[in-house]
Amino acid sequence: MATLKEFLRISKLTGVDQYLIVDHTAKVVAHDIKDPQKLAKIIFSCGQNCFAIGKTQFKYLIFSRKNRKNIFIFPVGNYYLGVVKSKTVDNFILADNIINFLKGLV
C-alpha cells in the first residue's frame, strides 16, 4: 500500500481543487480544505451509506452543486476520500483521473 506522502500527490491531479481523507471513525487523516471537520462528517456518513448499499460496486459518488465545484466521494480501503472538483473540469475526467491515480498506488 502507498505511503501517505505518495497519496497526498492527489492535490496535483487535474481537476482537484481540494481534498479530504477520513478514516473509519470520521477522523480527518489529511486535508487541503477549509473547515475539514464539517465536511468530514458528510464524507464519512455518505461513504458509509453508499458502501452499505453498493459494497464492492461503490466506485464513487458525486454531489452536484450550483457553483459546479461538485463533491466526489471515493472509497479507499478503510478510508474515504472527498474531493472538491475545480469548476473547469468535467466530472468524468476528474473521476477517471482519481481512479487511475488510486490504481497506481496499489
Domains held by the chain: number: 1
Instruction: Dig out the grid coordinates for 75 from the structure.
Output: 472509497
pLDDT the model gives residue 5: 81
Diameter of the chain by CA atoms?
A: 36
21 with 80: CB under 8 angstroms?
yes
Domain that residue 15 falls in: 4-105
- Which are the contacts of 90, defined by CB distance < 8 A and separation ≥ 6? none
Tell me: pLDDT of 1 over 80.
no
With cut-offs at 50, 70 and 90, classify the pLDDT of residue 105.
Answer: confident
62 with 72: CB under 8 angstroms?
yes
Kindly state the percentage of the chain with pLDDT values over 70: 97
pLDDT the model gives residue 2: 66
**Can you tell me which residue has the cell 498506488?**
105
Tens digit of pLDDT for each residue in 28-66? 999 999 889 989 999 999 988 888 887 778 899 999 999
39: CATH: 3.30.450.30
In whole numbers, what is the pLDDT of the chain averaged over residues?
90
Beta strand 16-22 pairing with 71-76: unpaired
